[in-house]
């Protein structure tokens, strides 16, 4: 993630709101901005929490307390805490709600008056998440962010992080273009996003009538998500709900400056702040760990295939 001088300068004195702040990508973005552009005005980190104290605790435990911030801590030494206090504000909230769940009226007004850039990294990345949950977070949560962005009087850009796999089961050359409302990988023409929301809600009512247990409800809603995704040509609930999010925010953006990025498989840091930092194991990471520990000595594959993997700290964000 190497910043050009123009990008560095453009972040000076900017107030940036970041959703999904405790997630893998958001943490790396926050660390990078604070390290290379200390003259950024303020980073507001939206954190799922019931109050400010819990948001601060999660910021300390799940973001700043990670080894990822080691270089930044060494850079500022005993001034690290005061630097963070001046530059970073944790916000209790949730993209599932209007105004992203920000309840403090004074803070809400500050955000609307000061925010210049919004980076929406919030999302539920479980492939087989409950359909209702994935819709609430990935699809309609993104609309809540868009609606909030429209009320920010100084906004210069909304950056929405999607996924390369919104393309579905297509093969060959796939162009980077917006997904039209209702467009599906298999050519079906009857996708209606509001109807999908109703289908999920009706399924929940049906399960309640049947007095389903929590486990039965969870299983049924997961199955529903996979079924609806497959119906239109998407592989799983995650990419389906992310694709619907793209449709809605692009269709509803108006004159708002909107950028949608679609990373593929994201792995560890490449160079900065140091090579190899990763959090947990996902997707291809398990193969690397298995090989590194000697549990897997070979892996079958087609040598003619391109392995589309993004190493953070190179060109992921800019």
The answer to whether the beta carbons of residues 214 and 260 sit under 8 Å apart is no
Paired tokens of 233 = 């040509």
pLDDT tens, residue by residue, 2-37: 555 688 889 999 999 999 999 999 999 999 999 999
**Is 8-265 a domain of CATH 3.40.50.720?**
yes
> Which entry of 66, 238, 270, 271 is annotated as an active-site residue?
238
Q: What's the confidence (pLDDT) of residue 5?
A: 65
What is the mean pLDDT of the segment spanning 148-161? 98
Which pLDDT does position 312 carry in this prediction? 58
Q: Is 79 left (phi over 0), alpha (psi -120 to 50) or beta?
A: alpha
The one-character DSSP state at 182 is T
Q: Is 56 noted as a catalytic residue in this protein? A: no
The residue to which tokens 């809603």 are assigned: 221
Decide if 232 is catalytic.
Answer: no
Higher-scoring residue by pLDDT: 132, 310: 132
Catalytic residue among 242, 255, 271, 295: 242
Give me the long-range contacts of 183-191 (CB less than 8 A, separation at least 24): 183/247, 184/232, 184/233, 184/234, 185/232, 185/233, 185/234, 186/232, 186/233, 187/233, 188/231, 188/232, 188/233, 191/232, 191/244
Note the pTM of the prediction, 2 decimals: 0.91
Half-sphere exposure of 237 (CA within 13 A, CB side): 25
Question: What are 75-108's pLDDT values in tens digits?
Answer: 999 999 999 999 999 999 999 999 999 999 999 9
pLDDT of residue 292: 80
Q: Give the pLDDT confidence of 295-306 residue by residue, as tens digits.
A: 888 878 888 877
């Amino acid at each position: 993630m190497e910043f050009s001088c123009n990008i560095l300068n453009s972040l000076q004195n900017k107030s940036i709101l970041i959703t999904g702040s405790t997630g893998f990508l958001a943490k790396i973005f926050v660390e990078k901005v604070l390290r290379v552009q200390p003259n950024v005005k303020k980073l507001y980190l939206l954190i799922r929490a019931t109050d400010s104290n819990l948001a601060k605790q999660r910021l300390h435990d799940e973001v700043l307390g990670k080894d990822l911030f080691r270089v930044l801590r060494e850079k500022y030494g005993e001034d690290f805490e005061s630097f963070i206090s001046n530059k970073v504000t944790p916000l209790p909230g949730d993209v599932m709600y209007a105004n992203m769940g920000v309840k403090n009226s004074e803070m809400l007004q500050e955000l609307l008056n000061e925010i210049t850039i919004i980076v929406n990294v919030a999302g539920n990345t479980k492939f087989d998440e409950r359909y209702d949950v994935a819709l609430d977070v990935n699809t309609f949560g993104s609309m809540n962010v868009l609606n909030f962005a429209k009320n920010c009087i100084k906004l210069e850009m909304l950056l929405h992080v999607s996924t390369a796999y919104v393309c579905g089961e297509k093969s060959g050359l796939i162009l980077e273009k917006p997904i039209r409302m209702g467009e599906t990988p298999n050519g079906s023409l009857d996708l209606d996003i509001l109807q999908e929301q109703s289908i999920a809600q009706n399924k929940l009512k049906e399960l309640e009538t049947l007095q389903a247990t929590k486990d039965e409800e969870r299983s049924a809603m997961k199955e529903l998500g996979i079924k609806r995704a497959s119906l239109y040509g998407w592989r799983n609930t995650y990419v389906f709900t992310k694709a619907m999010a793209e449709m809605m925010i692009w269709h509803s953006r108006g004159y708002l400056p909107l950028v949608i990025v679609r990373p593929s498989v994201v792995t560890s840091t490449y160079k900065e702040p140091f090579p190899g930092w990763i959090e947990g194991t996902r997707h291809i990471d398990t193969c690397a760990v298995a090989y590194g520990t000697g549990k897997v000595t070979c892996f079958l594959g087609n040598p003619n295939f391109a392995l589309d993997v993004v190493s953070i700290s190179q060109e992921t964000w800019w």
